[in-house]
């Protein structure tokens, strides 16, 4: 049964961090992937509070291969910049870093940039960290509006954050920001760890869900489809039943995929094959 278009599956480059950018892009073409969610890890792209890589160079490489950039995802877990930074100078550097991410996305013609809540210290009052996160996201939505980009807020796992880790946390932040350039990204790993379902998220957010990190899991792990215990057909049916027409970002992060990632992407696309409408 057909549930999605082929171009809705968006390949991602995290598991190519030991390969060149060109190798990643060529592997997407070889796997039959047409859309890209681009992670700005330094192996492939440079982004900091003051400068970012020449977007014309990246755009040319995408166009040459017929690839469409659908989501821009600044690195924000392994590096020092995050959305609820505690020290004032790092908070401002983080704001400039993410602002440059928005500007780069706009230059690349990409309408969506991923974001999350960041995290606070476990030995501070959670509400203080929440205030910083809310302030950061509010300021960034103003930048996003000027640049014609929409932020897509995702939840994180408890190991990554003590702020937005559930659908209810996401609803609270979404309502606080209350801005047309802030929408929702569903991450199926964080969702599974929280004991939630895709339908739970659609029941709360409906058409405000504009992107997904749509991967298998146990529920932990950002896995190739077939390597976890989620039911791909049921997940895709839920998307279709709720009228979702956005993209399915393949945020594959488990280290088992860091060797020969192109072969894993081909295997992933083979899992999707029965559900394509074209």
Domain map of the chain by residue range? 6-275
pLDDT for position 159: 95
**Sequence-distant (≥ 6) Cβ neighbours of residue 228 within 8 angstroms:** 215, 216, 217, 218, 219, 221
What pLDDT score does 79 carry? 72
pLDDT, one tens digit per residue, over 175-194 is 999 999 999 999 999 999 99
CATH architecture of residue range(s) 6-275: Alpha-Beta Barrel (3.20)
User: Residues 10, 23, 52, 86: what is their CA dihedral angle, to the nearest 10 degrees?
Assistant: 70
What pLDDT score does 82 carry? 97
Q: d(Cα 261, Cα 258) in Å, to the nearest integer?
A: 6
Q: Looking up tokens 């205030």, which residue turns up?
A: 131
CB 154 within 8 A of CB 119: no
pLDDT reported for residue 44: 98
pLDDT attached to residue 136: 98
- Residues of the chain with pLDDT below 50 are none
Range 159-171 burial, b when 16+ CB lie within 10 A, else e: ebbbbbbbbebbb
The CA distances from residue 145 to 39, 80, 179, in Å, are 21, 25, 9
Give the pLDDT of residue 220.
96
Place of tokens 């393949």: 250
- Residue 83 pLDDT: 98
Q: Quick: pLDDT tens for 71-86.
A: 999 999 877 899 999 9
């Amino acid at each position: 049964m057909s549930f999605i278009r082929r171009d809705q599956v968006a390949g991602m480059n995290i598991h190519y961090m030991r390969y060149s950018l060109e190798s990643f892009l060529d592997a997407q073409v070889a796997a039959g992937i047409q859309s890209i969610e681009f992670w700005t890890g330094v192996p492939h792209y440079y982004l900091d509070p003051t400068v970012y890589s020449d977007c014309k160079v990246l755009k040319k490489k995408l166009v040459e291969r017929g690839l469409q950039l659908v989501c821009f995802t600044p690195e924000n877990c392994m590096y020092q910049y995050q959305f609820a930074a505690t020290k004032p100078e790092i908070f401002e550097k983080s704001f400039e870093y993410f602002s440059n991410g928005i500007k780069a996305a706009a230059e690349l013609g990409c309408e969506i940039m991923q974001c999350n809540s960041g995290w606070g210290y476990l030995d501070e009052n959670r509400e203080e960290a929440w205030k910083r996160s809310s302030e950061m996201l509010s300021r960034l939505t103003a930048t996003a509006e000027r640049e014609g980009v929409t932020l897509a807020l995702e939840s994180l796992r408890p190991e990554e954050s003590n702020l937005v880790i559930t659908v209810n946390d996401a609803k609270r932040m979404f309502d606080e920001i209350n801005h047309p350039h802030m929408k929702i990204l569903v991450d199926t790993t964080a969702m599974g760890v929280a004991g939630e379902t895709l339908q739970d998220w659609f029941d709360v957010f409906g058409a405000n869900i504009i992107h997904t990190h749509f991967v298998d899991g146990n529920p932990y792990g950002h896995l190739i489809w077939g390597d976890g215990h989620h039911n791909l057909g049921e997940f895709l049916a839920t998307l279709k039943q709720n009228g979702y027409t956005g993209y399915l970002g393949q945020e594959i992060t488990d280290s088992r995929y860091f060797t020969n990632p192109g072969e894993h992407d081909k295997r992933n696309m083979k899992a999707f094959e029965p559900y394509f409408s074209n």
